[in-house]
Structure 1
Amino acid sequence: MDRRLLEAAQTGNISFLHHLLAENHYILNTIALNSEQNPLHIASTAGHVEFVKEILRLKPSFAEEVNQDGFSPLHLASAIGHFEIVKELLKLNPKLCCLEGRNRWTALHYAASRGRVDIIREMLLACPESIEDVNVQKETALHVAVKNSQFEAIHFMVKRVREMKKDEIFNMKDELGNSILHLATWRKERQVVEWILDGYTGGANAIVELVNVVNQSGLTALDVLLIFPSEAGDREIEEILKAAGGRRARDMSLSSTPSFENNSTTITDLSADNLVEHFKFKRGRNSPSDARTALLVMAVLVATATFQAGLNPPGGVWQDTTLDGSPGNPSHDAGRSILGSYKSVKYLLFMLFNTIGFSVSIYVIAILISNFPFKWEFRVCIVAINFTYVTAITFMAPRNMWLPLIVFSIVFPFLVPHVFKLFVRLVKLLKRISEISGIQNHFNTVSELFWY
């Protein structure tokens, strides 16, 4: 980097910056060719807000660059605590929160490790999903805050997670299988244990599941607490964990192999409590690869069922050709739908909704196999299947239904991504309306049915 530009960034001298630009209009463009960092890194470290604003105006792409140490400008400002600079960077692009640096640390990880509550608040307002980002050790910002005993930051993030209805984040494990409850009990942080367990939503089963998560060493939070010699405060933490249903792993292993006579009682008790909640997908407990596999299986089943329904409509097809029809036996050609001959509108509605199911399932399959090897070969197969489906349903349809069926079955697959985006916006709008009208609890139940 030009020594004079370095000096301008270190001192925050905007006038000098403009003077250098007047001498060389391309001075900012040449930095990427011969420098390991840009002026925005330096100004963000020094805390020169106005200089940062000017650089962002002149060269906004600098905000996404990572220097030789693995830090973006947002990483540096978050770690040091320059709140105003963080606000300016997030104003430019909220997704900078998810930008990964060395060891996949995000700016939120650095802010959490140093307890920058104001910066954490700003990031979660700009990009709520960043609370789920993990580093190379699979640690969330909550893991990092607990490991660094940043209690104010922990308290704020726990409350924020609750407000966002994302309690499954408490179940997320690091590379050693430790949840934040494992870390809190290991560090004897009674406050953190209370914050996590107090107000935990999802019912009694969910709390018991959280408190009895087992890490890679086969230890629950209670095991981690009791495996070391007793210290002051251990008794209180032990009572809190046991009151929430906490148990030692060896006790669970004994009770998890009941006799055949007790099996029916266990299943009955589970269904009585909340069987739906027990089998619901939860981040941290269920891996994304398992969820992806399940989605792929369901999409294939739906595609198969709707394809078969398109080829074999209700009532079957005519086996003969009759040109002179009667009220009880309308004119028809062999291979045409019987339902379409008698009730053409019902046939049209059946095929429209069947096509919606088929197109959406094919779209989901296309997304899930997007990074597969031979993905282009798979896409050729998908196009071929769509062509055969359209050909089949239009061949069996009454002649007056050909045009609407062809148009819909060809156009709708291209509209599926836009329909999904519209649906997401509609759900967000309904959620906002429900919050205003005071029916938040009812809406949460409905939205869970949509998303899960």
Structure 2
Amino acid sequence: MSYADQENGSLSALYEVSLRGNVSELDTLIGRDPLILHKLSLTTFTETPLHISALLGHLDFTKSLLRHKPQLALELDHSKRTPLHLASAQGHVEIVHVLLQTYHEHACLMSDQDGRIPIHYAAMRGRTEIARQLIMAKPESLMVLDGSGKTVLHLCVEHNHLETLKTLVQVRDLSGNDFLNKTDLHHGNTILHFAVTLKQVETIRYLLSIPKIREEASIENKMGCTALDMLVDAVIMNNGMNQTHSLPSLNPNEKYWTKNFKLGKRFLQHQGERLEEMRGMLSVVATMISAMTFNAVMNPPGGVIQANGSDLRSWKNMLSNNVKDAMELHPGRAVFLTTQESDFESFVMFNSISLAASLSITLLLVSGVPLKNEVTMGILSIGTCVTLTFLMLSYFFGGFMLGFKSANHVFHFWIYLWLGLLGLIVVFSMIRVISWLVKVIKHG
């Protein structure tokens, strides 16, 4: 047998030993040929033995390979992945720890052919402890985008790994960081957009519990949609799906008006099971409306009088003819409360009613009260109508204060249209309630 054949045989044996993870056999091969690990670059194999060992979880074998040739930790396979990529994806915590002790500053930031670094795979597979180790070893790896322009947080949400997402936020203390609202490169979606699109109710609730995300929930993606827009669309779509009811068979002996009431009830009735499924999504919508109305008062349109002396003096000079208003000036007072008091008070009143109604809806939804009875549905319907009506009115008065009074005819048109829609809803609700009463009376 020629020397070349012997060398090829030894290298093939090395790869077979890697599959088994046998350390004693590895030591025997190295004893026969101390340079065997250095000859790997001369082979046609696309992976090194360390890639195989890291993929299969052979801890002792991995330690032995790194002891003899630590440079293997930076070798790439045919997909440009390091052993750390593979161990992170497979969830081998101890092997990741060993690899991080060798060249961790380089391996943590090495991208494969898909533009992903090891922490991207940990996020995609929900390897929470590994993600923690990678962040601690190289904090800046959190900021690296993958090949599709997504952050690590986007990948956590996209693959529905809430615990991993929470860990990353806590380890790096991101609760007040703008990185939480970073958009993906191609579509401009935040992680809240992702959660809404994928209907991950628990993730949405967690994200909205973070003030930084809640404050900037109005960020638009490249389609011009906010997360709230998409959430409302999702609720509407869910409301319109699975409505494959067939009309009931009517008893010819029943009175005509009873038949019609039953038909109306069957057509308009919301199925209890579907509403229970929608409970989480509706509570999120109500929570976001509450946040919007709260922020509208805490940060009023037109701003507030600043604390610096020059600003305060200029306002007092402007109101010198009105002693009462001049005496009431103080830093933090709303500008429009001074210049357009009547419109501002109406704005605050309507906004406050909308806030109270949305909080009431949220309380009803999270209380666990079943949504299958007509009383609960009636309260929920009234609360929703009140919330949206006064939210619209506060918007109109906000527009008046900002100088859009020239568009009065447009506002009046929308008010009349809205009142017409409310009228239809009232008629439908009355039909539903009357049909329910008919059933109660009939069955005594």
Answer yes or no: is the 8 Å Cα contact 1:213–1:220 preserved in 2. yes
One-letter code of the match for 2:139? Answer: P
Which residue is 1:230 aligned to? Answer: 238
Which residue is 2:30 aligned to? Answer: 21
* Partner Cα distance (1:12, 1:129) in 2: 33
CA deviation string 1:372-411 (max 9, x = no partner): xxxxxxxxxxxxxxxxxxxxxxxxxxxxxxxxxxxxxxxx
Distance 1:245 1:61, change over 3 A: farther
Match of 2:122 among 95, 108, 111: 111
Matches within 5 A, 1:14-413: 14-34=23-43, 35-95=45-105, 96-161=107-172, 163=173, 167-174=177-184, 175-201=186-212, 207-208=214-215, 210-228=216-234, 229-230=237-238, 232=278, 233-245=280-292, 265-266=302-303
Answer yes or no: is the 8 Å Cα contact 2:74–2:103 preserved in 1. no
* Partner Cα distance (2:135, 2:176) in 1: 13
One-letter code of the match for 2:19? Answer: Q
Distance 1:199 1:225, change over 3 A: closer
3-state SS, counterpart of residue 150 of structure 2: coil
Distance 1:64 1:227, change over 3 A: same
One-letter code of the match for 1:184? Answer: A
Q: Which runs of 5+ in 1 are unaligned?
A: 253-261, 274-452
Answer yes or no: is the 8 Å Cα contact 1:142–1:154 preserved in 2. yes
Answer yes or no: is the 8 Å Cα contact 1:158–1:196 preserved in 2. no
Q: Sequence identity, in percent?
A: 30
Answer yes or no: is the 8 Å Cα contact 1:211–1:246 preserved in 2. no
Cα deviation for residue 25 of structure 1 reads: 2.2
Cα deviation for residue 199 of structure 1 reads: 3.8
Cα deviation for residue 14 of structure 1 reads: 1.6
CA deviation string 1:184-227 (max 9, x = no partner): 111122222222232435xxxx743x211111111110112123
Cα deviation for residue 268 of structure 1 reads: 6.0
* Partner Cα distance (1:21, 1:222) in 2: 62
Cα deviation for residue 99 of structure 1 reads: 1.7
Structure 1 residue 11 corresponds to structure 2 residue 20:
yes
One-letter code of the match for 1:11? Answer: R
Cα deviation for residue 270 of structure 1 reads: 13
* Partner Cα distance (1:195, 1:182) in 2: 13
* Partner Cα distance (1:189, 1:246) in 2: 24
TM-score (norm 1): 0.52
Cα deviation for residue 122 of structure 1 reads: 1.4
Distance 1:46 1:80, change over 3 A: same
* Partner Cα distance (1:139, 1:158) in 2: 16
One-letter code of the match for 1:230? Answer: N
Distance 1:171 1:269, change over 3 A: farther
CA deviation string 1:6-30 (max 9, x = no partner): 0111111122212222222221112
The alignment's C-alpha RMSD in Å is 2.8
Distance 1:15 1:218, change over 3 A: same
One-letter code of the match for 1:237? Answer: V
4+ residue stretches of structure 1 with deviation over 4 A? 266-273
3-state SS, counterpart of residue 188 of structure 1: coil
Cα deviation for residue 246 of structure 1 reads: 8.8
3-state SS, counterpart of residue 292 of structure 2: coil
Cα deviation for residue 164 of structure 1 reads: 5.2
Answer yes or no: is the 8 Å Cα contact 2:57–2:92 preserved in 1. yes
* Partner Cα distance (2:219, 2:33) in 1: 60
* Partner Cα distance (2:79, 2:28) in 1: 30
Cα deviation for residue 94 of structure 1 reads: 2.8
One-letter code of the match for 1:186? Answer: T
Higher relative contact order (CA 8 A, sep 6+): 2
Distance 1:73 1:112, change over 3 A: same
One-letter code of the match for 1:221? Answer: A
Distance 1:7 1:269, change over 3 A: farther
Answer yes or no: is the 8 Å Cα contact 1:9–1:51 preserved in 2. yes
3-state SS, counterpart of residue 68 of structure 1: coil
Q: Which entry has the higher C-alpha Rg, 1 or 2?
A: 2
* Partner Cα distance (1:62, 1:270) in 2: 62
One-letter code of the match for 2:218? Answer: N
Answer yes or no: is the 8 Å Cα contact 1:194–1:240 preserved in 2. no
* Partner Cα distance (1:33, 1:178) in 2: 46
Answer yes or no: is the 8 Å Cα contact 1:77–1:85 preserved in 2. yes
3-state SS, counterpart of residue 38 of structure 2: coil
Answer yes or no: is the 8 Å Cα contact 1:197–1:244 preserved in 2. no
Cα deviation for residue 112 of structure 1 reads: 1.0
Number of residue pairs aligned between Structure 1 and Structure 2: 253
* Partner Cα distance (2:293, 2:113) in 1: 36
Answer yes or no: is the 8 Å Cα contact 2:40–2:48 preserved in 1. yes
One-letter code of the match for 2:281? Answer: D
Cα deviation for residue 68 of structure 1 reads: 0.4
Q: Which runs of 5+ in 2 are unaligned?
A: 1-7, 240-277, 309-330, 333-444
